Amino acid sequence: MDLDLYQYLFYLIILYVSVGIIYLFHFYKSSKTINLPPGNKGYPLIGETFDYVMNAKRGNPEKFVNDRTAKYSPDVFRTSLLGQDMAVFCGASAHKCLFSGTNKYIQAWWPPSMKKIMMHDSKNHSSVEESAKIRVILPRFLKIEALQPYIPVIDAMAKKHLETEWSPYKEVKVFPLVKKFTFGLACRLLASIEDPKDVAEITAPFDRVIAGLISVPINVPGTTYYRAVQAGKVVREIVMGLITKRKKELEMNINPDQMDVMTSMLHDDLDAVDICNKLGAFFVASFDTTSSAITFIIKSLAEYPHVYQRVYEEQMEILKAKKEGEPLNWEDVKKMKYTWCTASEVLRLYPPSIGAFREAKTDFSYGGYTIPKGWKIFWNAHTTHKNPKYFPDPEKFDPSRFEGSGPPPYTFVPFGGGPYMCPGKEYARLQILVFMHNIVTKFKWEKLIPNEKYEYIAAPFPVHDLPVSLEPIQT
């Protein structure tokens, strides 16, 4: 190392320490003037993101929150994540405050680091605008009435998927296969993409996009975040190609009746970049969530044979009442009550969403502290779902928690709540139930790695992809 490099490092350390002192001074000053939530903002720029990511990587994202609620305050604490100062809201009453305060003192907000991955720079709409548009477009397709005629399509795709990707093998890796199924469905619903080659092309960059969403947002070559930003560009190029193709088809009156989310946005005269941003967000929102949920359902059914047996009996009753080859319909789905209790218990223990963000629209108080206008807020389901106050013996897998009146309000929140509740909830529910029907009436399975670890990126996933051995069922 020569002297110039030592000097360079010396000045860099001085700069870093100075920024840190200014930063702490501002933190101290603002904490003195109003009663801000207690907490620690961590290091400049990085904040406490690294600590959050490391806990998530160990399969324990709730530790980040639990450590701080024990140290500072049970309902709300202050931190800095993804380059932003934020208040983290915890527990059922915090969820109630957030979900019922939407549009009064709280509004939608997405971290700029996430927007940079998912959206074209040229259309940097506010999160409030984007979220409002999403809530106009998606419910047209994803409300339960609109989805009911789609149940036979999901059923046919599940059957074909199991026939071609599972039945020929004695052992399979569950996670990549389930991803293939759920993403294939999303491609069909969102953009009528059915050719497996096109589906594979669009799937390829998504793992990198997802990996970067919750990472330290340093955009220099070699970082997870940089790779995600680059992969986001690839996704947008592919999606722009699809939009241009569909636009031309519509001008030439080719497949005028074909209906999907992309075509609907073209009919609404949204411009191509806008459509691309929204489709990208829909793909991201549906990429890992449902596949993670189904994967952990398969894991749990292998671990709890008595639960598998009850799900199997419920699904066989539905199957036996059907004629040969008759597809599932809405009436069948309504009968899948215990199956949904089981899926809910999985969503409780392994929530597929890392949570969501908001922005304070005005100053407001919560838990005895002031949240100033403009502050960012983060909530997640993990800690609440494992709080023994709401779920006695929280680590125990027990679908009966969801029978009868179920858990108290605001304690079970895998899809959020209030006006910003996940718009894909009903679609996710149908996919999960239809897939569960098909898999339990076709196979029994055993895990090949008894204590396989799992990690979180955005959603949880088993580190070895959950290999299982399959035993076909004769029906």
Of the two residues 377 and 470, which places its CB atom closer to ligand HEM in the complex? 377
Q: Does 423 bind ligand HEM (CB under 6 A)?
A: yes
Of the two residues 227 and 437, which places its CB atom closer to ligand HEM in the complex? 437
Q: Does 289 bind ligand HEM (CB under 6 A)?
A: yes
Lookup: tokens for 300: 């749990």
Binding mask of the shown chain, residues 110 to 149, with x at each position contacting ligand HEM by CB under 6 A: ---------------------x--x---x-----------
Those residues whose C-beta lies under 8 Å from the C-beta of residue 459, and which sit 6 or more positions away, are 288, 289, 291, 292, 352, 353, 354
- The correct pick among 424, 435, 436, 437 for binding ligand HEM (CB under 6 A) is 424
Which residue number is nearest to ligand HEM in terms of Cβ? 424
Task: Report how far apart, in Å, the C-alpha atoms of 163 and of each of 104, 153, 156, 434, 473 are.
Answer: 50, 15, 10, 15, 13
Helix (H, G, I), strand (E, B) or coil at 381: coil
Burial class (CB in 10 A: 0-12, 13-18, 19+), 421: middle
Those residues whose C-beta lies under 8 Å from the C-beta of residue 135, and which sit 6 or more positions away, are 419, 423
Of the two residues 115 and 227, which places its CB atom closer to ligand HEM in the complex? 115
Binding mask of the shown chain, residues 330 to 359, with x at each position contacting ligand HEM by CB under 6 A: ----------------------xx--x---
422 annotated as ligand-binding: yes
Q: Does 460 bind ligand HEM (CB under 6 A)?
A: no
DSSP 352: S
Helix (H, G, I), strand (E, B) or coil at 372: coil
Q: Does 69 bind ligand HEM (CB under 6 A)?
A: no
Amino acid type, 290: T
Single out the residue of 461, 467, 471, 401 nearest to residue 440, CA to CA. Answer: 471
Cα–Cα distance between 340 and 307 in angstroms, integer?
12
- The correct pick among 286, 384, 411, 438 for binding ligand HEM (CB under 6 A) is 286
Q: Does 108 bind ligand HEM (CB under 6 A)?
A: yes
Q: Does 285 bind ligand HEM (CB under 6 A)?
A: yes
Residues 136 and 428 sit within 8 Å (Cβ to Cβ): no
CB of 471 to ligand HEM, least distance (A): 27
CB of 214 to ligand HEM, least distance (A): 14
Those residues whose C-beta lies under 8 Å from the C-beta of residue 387, and which sit 6 or more positions away, are 91, 394, 411
Of the two residues 36 and 118, which places its CB atom closer to ligand HEM in the complex? 118
Tell me which stretch binds ligand HEM (CB under 6 A): 19-27, 36-44, 239-247, 411-419: 411-419
Neighbours of 9 (CB within 10 A): 11
**Binding-site annotation: residue ranges:** 422
Kindly list the residues in this chain that would bind ligand HEM in the complex (CB under 6 A): 108, 131, 134, 138, 281-282, 285-286, 289-290, 293, 352-353, 356, 414-416, 420-424, 427-428
**Binding-site annotation: residue ranges for heme:** 422
